Amino acid sequence: MGRDDVEVIFFPVSIRFRTNLASVVFASIAARLVALHGHPVPGTPDTSVEIWRGIMADYLSRPLPEGRRLLVILDGVDEAADWEPGPDLFPFSLPLGIRVVLSARYLAVIQMSLLGCAAWNGIGVAWHAPGVTSLSRQGIADVLTRMGFPLDQLGKRVDIVAELYRLSKGDPLLVTVIRG
């Protein structure tokens, strides 16, 4: 059941669905924010990414009309293509009733924290590390074996297992058994 006093902007950053470019992410979020404020969406297809980022930051700095609250969810920031989530992604001072959630795979979150997102500490940042761990080379071989014929034979090929491990770094979201 929805609540009339809460607005949600959910944006999936996805390589697969081509929503990982800055021009798509920031224009989409900015346009939705502007619309929630009841204003016409500015810009054209030629509007620069920096203008869209500025519009997004400007509207995130304003409370929503009529006391409504806002939750912005940016899911999959580890798949960003031509931009990086950093301390300048959102304004440091958000009005009451506005919350921003970023999600990324655990390994990417660790990398982001090392790249400067530590500046978000103290403003309600929560790091959650789910119980998903990286696969070892043996784990990747096991996944291949469990895929069944004809892929099960690849689990015995040390060169294939080593290359999959190198490419995926053991990320279980990239190496998994998919059953039809």
How long, in residues, is the chain? 180
List the strands of the sheet with 98-103, edge to edge.
6-12, 69-75, 98-103
Domain residue ranges of the chain, discontinuous segments joined by +: 6-120, 133-180
146-163 confidence digits (pLDDT tens): 776 666 777 788 887 888
Query: How far apart are alpha carbons 8 and 12 in whole angstroms?
Result: 13
Average pLDDT, the chain: 79
Helix (H, G, I), strand (E, B) or coil at 167: helix
CA dihedral of 30, 34, 35, 39, whole degrees rounded to 10: -150
pLDDT tens string 79-131: 899 988 877 788 878 898 998 888 776 555 545 544 444 444 444 444 445 55
Pairing label, strands 98-103, 6-12: unpaired
Question: Which amino acid type is present at position 65?
Answer: P
pTM value is 0.64
